[in-house]
Amino acid sequence: MTEALLPDARRGAALVRRPGARLGDGLTTHIDRLPVDAGLAARQWEDYVAAFHDNGWPTIEVARADDLPDAPFVEDTAVVVGDLAVIARPGAAERRPETAGAEVVLTGLGYRIERITGPGTLDGGDVLKLGSTFFVGLGGRTNDEGIHQLSSLVAPMGVEVVPVRVSRALHLKSSLTALPDGTVLGHLPVMDQPELIPNLEAVPERNGWRVVLLGDDRLLISSSAPRTSALLERKGYRLVRVDISEFEKREASVTCLSVRLRGAAPHS
């Protein structure tokens, strides 16, 4: 583990997974393929993890999987709500072995485990949580059956699931990100159904502008989105900037590299 699960982690921790030397072999769908510097990516990942620690978030590390190039994009492996962890079934078959490591950790933390099963597919990056609603991308990685299964699993917890078509981006969260005040930032040119998203505000950049919430007024954001960063600072947010350029070459953002656990599970 990057850091032991401390008592304070009951108020929040982040699940992360260290990149391996084969990161450059990861999948790309909607962007040109560029070479990845694995050594630089490793240093950028350490800085990303340090940003969580510096802002009061312990991290819990899923076992490294050098044979799975996309493994550091741990967001896609699970959807966590309350004491329930829904283990995903990624739409790309070669990514399905990634979920086992995340399940081991989440089980050890005491979460109730449910799984998306075939023929359903679901990537965690397609799930945008907004209050008691999950907006779920329906597209290349997540299908109708996966959305139906997720809806059945979270409905008893008072969560409504709203499908949103995705065809011009890898995941729904490649086009949307949520702020603490309920505003949803989106890049309109890659959105199929913007009319379904409440409190939507357009962002000026295609890449790098997604955020991870570190606190009521603190946001983690890539250093590759200066115009969106300026917009957020005008709104009064304090920004924590990280360089994740090597991961962005594989269609990733700051959200892809972690799963935030808003308090440890009751039995941990």
Which residues are known to be catalytic? 171, 256
**Count of CB atoms situated within 10 Å of the CB of 243:** 16
Closest Cα to residue 165, out of 134, 188, 142? 142
CA distance from start to end of the chain: 16
CB 153 within 8 A of CB 86: yes
Closest of 131, 257, 256, 153 to residue 198, by C-alpha: 131
Neighbours of 261 (CB within 10 A): 27
Which DSSP helix (H) or strand (E) runs through 248?
Answer: helix 245-248
- Alpha-carbon gap, residue 259 to 59, rounded angstroms: 10
